[in-house]
């Protein structure tokens, strides 16, 4: 691979140092550039007793953690992300692939005002209409709405949004996976609203989907309580779901350690592990799975 892969540090109070050092060394043919202070990385390398791989290079960075037990690690996470954004804008021909390591949204919000997640932040920074794709070989999903309250979901969905997200998903599969995806649209209310008995929102979705069948390989809407059964998964490449958790629950149940988070619609490829910083697992290195980060790198390498 000619171009280096840019990485943000995420929150080093969790499992990020471990999964980073253990994963990167498995891909010596790839050069990784980490937005993080080298002396800080050496501190964690010593703590974990894991050597820093030769293919992992720390860039000149203000993301510093002098004392892991006392410092605010979320500040370094915010700085690392902001530095990565500047590099992606300044050197777009060099940095075409980004891996973001997990952060805690509540903590990083202290340093990046209004931060609700990498997906929304990167979309705003690069003025891009984006789609969140949770991808795995077992199941892939895309929520129409991401980090908003459940009572605001229906009000935020309209025909233009559905069409825009469908196009982003379709274009992503064509560009990176060389296929036109089979998409299943999932209802938001129980039993697809039982006609109009519970709500008319699912009928509105149905009318929109009918208009788009000539442009996309789309099926549905179908009820959530059966949508993810094997018989549907076998004929679905990706599910389109109105709400965030509606998509994420089946995805994490089936692909927690092997799924990856992709932001479609950016001028570069952004991938991330499909889990959080996992603060409770820091001392349990024998139980930590590096599978999701490994899958991120494998996906980048494959492309």
CA–CA separation, 165 and 144 (whole Å): 7
Q: Which CATH number fits domain 131-258: 3.40.630.30, 3.40.50.300, 2.40.30.10, 3.40.718.10?
A: 3.40.718.10
* Per-residue pLDDT tens digits for 269-294: 999 998 999 998 888 888 999 999 99
pTM of the model: 0.91
- The confidence band for 200, taking pLDDT boundaries of 50, 70 and 90, is low
Distance CA 294, CA 291 (A): 5
For all residues of the chain together, what is the average pLDDT? 91
Distance CA 96, CA 75 (A): 25
| Residue range(s) of every CATH 3.40.718.10 domain in the chain | 1-128+266-303, 131-258
Q: What percent of the chain has pLDDT over 70?
A: 95
| Gap between the Cα atoms of 59 and 50, Å rounded | 20
Assigned CATH for 1-128+266-303: 3.40.718.10
What is the structure's pLDDT at 45?
96
Amino acid 123: pLDDT: 94
pLDDT band at 154 (very low <50, low <70, confident <90, very high): confident
Which are the contacts of 231, defined by CB distance < 8 A and separation ≥ 6?
none
* Cα–Cα distance, 71 to 37 (Å, whole number): 14
For residue range 126-145, list pLDDT tens digits in order: 999 999 999 999 999 999 99
Sign of CA dihedral 136, 30, 14, 65: negative
Task: For residue 35, give the 3-state DSSP assignment.
Answer: strand
């Amino acid at each position: 691979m000619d171009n280096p892969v840019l990485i943000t540090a995420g929150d080093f109070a969790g499992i990020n140092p471990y999964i980073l050092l253990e994963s990167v060394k498995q891909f010596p043919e790839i050069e990784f550039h980490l937005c993080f202070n080298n002396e800080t990385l050496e501190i964690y390398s010593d703590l974990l007793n894991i050597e820093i791989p030769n293919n992992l290079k720390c860039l000149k960075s203000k993301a510093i953690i002098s004392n892991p037990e006392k410092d605010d690690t979320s500040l370094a996470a915010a700085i690392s992300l902001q530095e990565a954004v500047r590099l992606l804008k300044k050197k777009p021909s060099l940095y075409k692939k980004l891996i973001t390591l997990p952060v805690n949204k509540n903590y990083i919000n202290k340093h990046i005002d209004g931060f609700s997640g990498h997906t929304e932040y990167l979309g705003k920074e690069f003025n891009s209409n984006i789609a969140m794709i949770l991808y795995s070989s077992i199941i892939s999903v895309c929520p129409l709405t991401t980090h908003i309250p459940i009572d605001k979901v229906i009000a935020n969905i309209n025909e233009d949004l559905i069409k825009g997200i469908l196009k982003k998903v379709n274009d992503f599969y064509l560009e990176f996976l060389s296929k036109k995806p089979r998409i299943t649209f999932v209802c938001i209310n129980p039993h697809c609203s039982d006609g109009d008995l519970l709500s008319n929102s699912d009928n509105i979705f149905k009318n929109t989907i009918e208009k788009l069948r000539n442009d996309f390989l789309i099926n549905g809407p179908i009820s959530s309580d059966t949508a993810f059964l094997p018989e549907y998964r076998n004929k679905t490449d990706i599910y389109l779901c109105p709400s965030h958790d509606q998509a994420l629950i089946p995805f994490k149940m089936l692909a927690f350690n092997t799924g990856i988070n992709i932001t479609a619609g950016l001028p570069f490829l952004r991938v991330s592990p499909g889990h959080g910083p996992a603060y409770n697992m820091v001392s349990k290195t024998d139980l930590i799975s590096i599978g999701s980060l490994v899958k991120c790198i494998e996906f980048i390498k494959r492309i």
